[in-house]
A = this chain, B = another copy of it.
Amino acid sequence: MKRIPFLLLAIAAVAGIFAGLGPSSGQPDQQAAPAYVTSIPPGYRDWKLISVAHEAGKLNSLGAVLGNDVAIRAYRQGTLPYPDGTIIAALHYTHSPSAENDKIFGQPQSFTPGPPTNIQFMVKDSTKYAATGGWGFGHFQNGKPADAAFMKPCFPCHAREKAHDLVFTRYAP
C-alpha cells in the first residue's frame, strides 16, 4: 500500500506534476501494457531549456526540463498537439541546501542540485505510442529504465492534461 503512491509520484515527476491516484477509470485493466521508452535519447544533455521545476514534500526535487529541437520549436510557436519527433527530458536532482552559498549569504536560503535522482522523457510518436495518447514515457535511474508496472500510471495521470496534449510543463521565457 505504501509503495504505489511513491511510484506514482516518481513517475509523474516527468513534467513536474504528481498525482496520488490510481489508473483512470477510462483505462480498461485488460489493455496490454502500454509501450514505453526503454533507451535514453542520445544527446539530451545538450538540449535547450524549456523550464525548471521544484517539487517540495517527499519528492524534494529540483529539476530542469529540456527539449530537443522539435520540442523547442513547438513550444515557442505554441504548436498543439506536439508533432511526432518531440522529445521532452526532465533531469531531476535532490533539492539540496548549499552550505557554501548559505555561508556567504549568512542564512539558510540557497538550494542547488544534489545528486541526480532520475531522468524522465516524453517521446511523441503517434503511431508507436498510439495507446498512450501518442506519447512514450520513460524513467531512468542510473541509466536503467523502469519496468512496465512502474510506467503504467504515467499515461492516466498525463491524460488529465489533455488541453496541453498531456504535457504539464510550460515554457519559461
Contact = CB atoms under 8 A, between A and B. Distances in A.
Interface of A: 16-20, 45-49, 51-57, 59, 62-64, 66, 91, 93, 95, 98, 100-101, 104-113, 116, 157, 160, 168-170, 172-173
Given A49-B64, A56-B108, 9 more contacts: A16-B101, A17-B101, A18-B109, A49-B66, A51-B113, A52-B93, A54-B95, A91-B172, A104-B160
A35 to B, nearest CB: 24
Contacts of A109: 18, 55-57, 59
Interface residues of A, dominant DSSP: mixed
Contacts of A113: 51-52, 172
Contacts of A63: 52
Chain copies in the assembled complex:
2
B62 A93 contact: no
A29 to B, nearest CB: 22
Contact of A19 (B48, B95, B104): B104
Contact of A55 (B47, B66, B110): B110
A34 B120 CA distance: 44
Given A17-B104, A19-B104, A110-B17, A52 B62 contact: yes
A173 B91 CA distance: 9
A111 B53 contact: yes
Given A49-B66, A172-B93, A111 B19 contact: no
A109 B13 CA distance: 12
